Amino acid sequence: MTVPFLTGSAVFRLLLALVLLSPLPLGSYRPWAWSLLAVGTGALLILWAFLVLVGRARVPVPMERLWSVVIPFAVVLAWAFVQTLSAVPALWTHPLWDEAAHALPEPIAAGVLPRISVDPAMTLIAILRLACYGGVFWLAVQFGRDRSRARDVLVAVAVTGTVYATYGLINHFAGWERILWLEKWAYPGDLTATFVNRNAYGAYAGLGLLCCVGLFLHALRPSRHAPDRRAFDLAETVLVRAMPFLIGALVIGTALLLSHSRGAFLCTGLGLLVLMVAVVVSRLIRPYAALVVSVLIVGLGLGVLGLSGEGTVERLATTAAQLQATDEARTNLYRLTDEAITDAPWTGYGFGTFLPAFRMYRDTSLVAPVIWDFAHNIYLETAMDLGLPAAVLFYLSLAVVILACLRGLMRRRRDHIYPAVALSAVTLIGSHGLVDFSAQMPAVAVTLALLLGVGFAQSWGTGDDTAPGHPGVAHGTGPHGVA
């Protein structure tokens, strides 16, 4: 017995809804919010697998395409789980467990079992979240192989980013210091939309901005119609197909500036630069058209900056004393994190346990009364949490996706925009990760996973699917409305 509405298309729409709603509950950075996100992702994976088993869905991207991404990612998850176990060699376990056993009364001490992770519960939560991001990527790859669904993803992220930005702008100009129904308790005067942290919102807004600009550029690709229709087609394209995305980019860009996040502002600019280079290299648009669009974007950006970006400009031009204090704190934070990595380079301290692990290394060089729950550098923090081998494997899986997107730019004859947007998105979040922790916000992470999955799925041509010996199938929509 089958349920008529239970199709791959339904699962795809549910996936989009899950990712697009993730920023709503404070960026999903609350235990109940990320738990719902993980449970929802798991349910969609199970539902999709069931549909595959009963023949109501297909697997457009087989494991042969994904093993180089899946295997290192799975090894990282497995190692993180090993960090929570007591059945590991004593030499691997953190000495804090032995100290705790000696300090506690005998009946309690007997139940203390040494582990690698300094907080196994936090590590299990981090595993859950990372598995959730991997699940979103997997589903995005399978559904994103269909080019119409790939476009739906970019449009959905662009529109949703505009909606959240509009909400933030209304709140900001109305003077409502609120996040949904809650009074703001952090970053007063900064636009954060539904996020708590202005840098996290800035990074999320940047992803929406990249999708808007990408779709704007895609609409401007050269026409194949006869010369006598090109003028008409150009006018229709600019006014009907391209202009809405440019307006969306302006709305999101204004909200991004009013977030007053310097890092997100600069990294979004870097992402835009990568996007422009990618569309030119892939010949999606001609170089002179890219130059015109770049001048247009810069001009509009300067106009928005002059009207509403005073706070960001002031923070970019902050006093030397403030910069020196910030740089000194970050330098000391990175130095202490590096010391922690040196003490446990192979095993780490437990995935997701930076907060308790760093307390053992914090010294008087960090004089500000700040709780350092993040390293403000995702690469250092990953190495400290997982150990260097597992951290390398994690970034190796990400590098495979990036290389596939680069290959797609060079070899595909159409639909270059999807790997181009994926590359610009990972540039934005990756560069921002050098100085902040936006990548560790669930709403930002699942949105990035969605865009990377679509970019990866669209990184090879349809002819590769039908090559001799290839087990894949054509990527069109099947008779059941599934892919």
Q: What is the mean pLDDT of the chain?
A: 86
Residues 185-221 pLDDT 10s: 889 989 999 999 999 999 999 999 999 999 998 887 7
**Which tokens in the block code for residue 330?**
């970050």
Residues 319-355 pLDDT 10s: 444 555 566 788 899 999 999 999 999 999 999 999 9
Q: How confident is the model at residue 1 (pLDDT cuts 50, 70, 90)?
A: very low
Residues 40-77 pLDDT 10s: 999 999 999 999 999 888 899 999 999 999 999 999 99
Give 46: exposed, middle or buried? Use CB within 10 Å, 0-12, 13-18, 19+.
exposed
**Which tokens in the block code for residue 479?**
């008779």
Q: How confident is the model at residue 296 (pLDDT cuts 50, 70, 90)?
A: confident
For tokens 């993040």, name the residue: 374
Q: How far is residue 93's CA from residue 347's CA, in Å, rounded to a whole number?
A: 8
Inform me whether the pLDDT recorded for 33 exceeds 60.
yes
Q: Which of 156, 148, 145 is nearest to 18 (CA)?
A: 156
Q: How far is residue 171's CA from residue 33's CA, in Å, rounded to a whole number?
A: 23
Full DSSP string of 122-178: HHHHHHHHHHHHHHHHHHHHHHHTSHHHHHHHHHHHHHHHHHHHHHHHHHHHHT--E
Where are the strands (E) in 338-471, listed by range?
none
Q: How confident is the model at residue 22 (pLDDT cuts 50, 70, 90)?
A: very high
Q: How confident is the model at residue 258 (pLDDT cuts 50, 70, 90)?
A: very high
pLDDT of residue 278: 93
Whether the Cβ atoms of residue 352 and residue 331 lie closer than 8 Å to each other: no
pLDDT of residue 470: 44
Q: How far is residue 68's CA from residue 242's CA, in Å, rounded to a whole number?
A: 37
Q: Give the CA distances from residue 122 to residues 6, 76, 101, 117, in Å, rounded to whole numbers and listed in that order.
A: 36, 16, 20, 9
pLDDT of residue 459: 93
Q: How confident is the model at residue 367 (pLDDT cuts 50, 70, 90)?
A: confident
Which residues are 33's β-sheet partners?
none
Domain spans of the chain, in order of start = 8-85+136-305+393-465
Can you give the pTM of this predicted structure? 0.89
Q: How far is residue 36's CA from residue 345's CA, in Å, rounded to a whole number?
A: 34
Average pLDDT over residues 268-287: 88
Residues 103-117 pLDDT 10s: 766 665 555 688 999
Residues 378-409 pLDDT 10s: 999 999 999 999 999 999 999 999 999 999 99
Q: Give the CA distances from residue 215 to residues 82, 133, 165, 196, 271, in Å, rounded to whole numbers and listed in that order.
A: 43, 24, 18, 29, 15
Q: How far is residue 428's CA from residue 264's CA, in Å, rounded to a whole number?
A: 8
Question: Which residues contact residue 277 at a Cβ distance below 8 angstroms, ignoring those fewer than 6 apart?
Answer: none
Which residues are 183's β-sheet partners?
178
Neighbours of 356 (CB within 10 A): 16
Half-sphere exposure of 213 (CA within 13 A, CB side): 33
Neighbours of 55 (CB within 10 A): 11
Which residues are 367's β-sheet partners?
none
Q: Which of 255, 269, 133 is nearest to 213 (CA)?
A: 269
pLDDT of residue 231: 53
What is residue 183's three-state secondary structure? Answer: strand
Q: How far is residue 483's CA from residue 479's CA, in Å, rounded to a whole number?
A: 9
Whether the Cβ atoms of residue 482 and residue 56 lie closer than 8 Å to each other: yes
Q: How far is residue 237's CA from residue 482's CA, in Å, rounded to a whole number?
A: 30
Q: How far is residue 238's CA from residue 246's CA, in Å, rounded to a whole number?
A: 10
pLDDT of residue 328: 77
What is residue 482's three-state secondary structure? Answer: coil
**Which tokens in the block code for residue 17?**
């809804």
Neighbours of 385 (CB within 10 A): 27
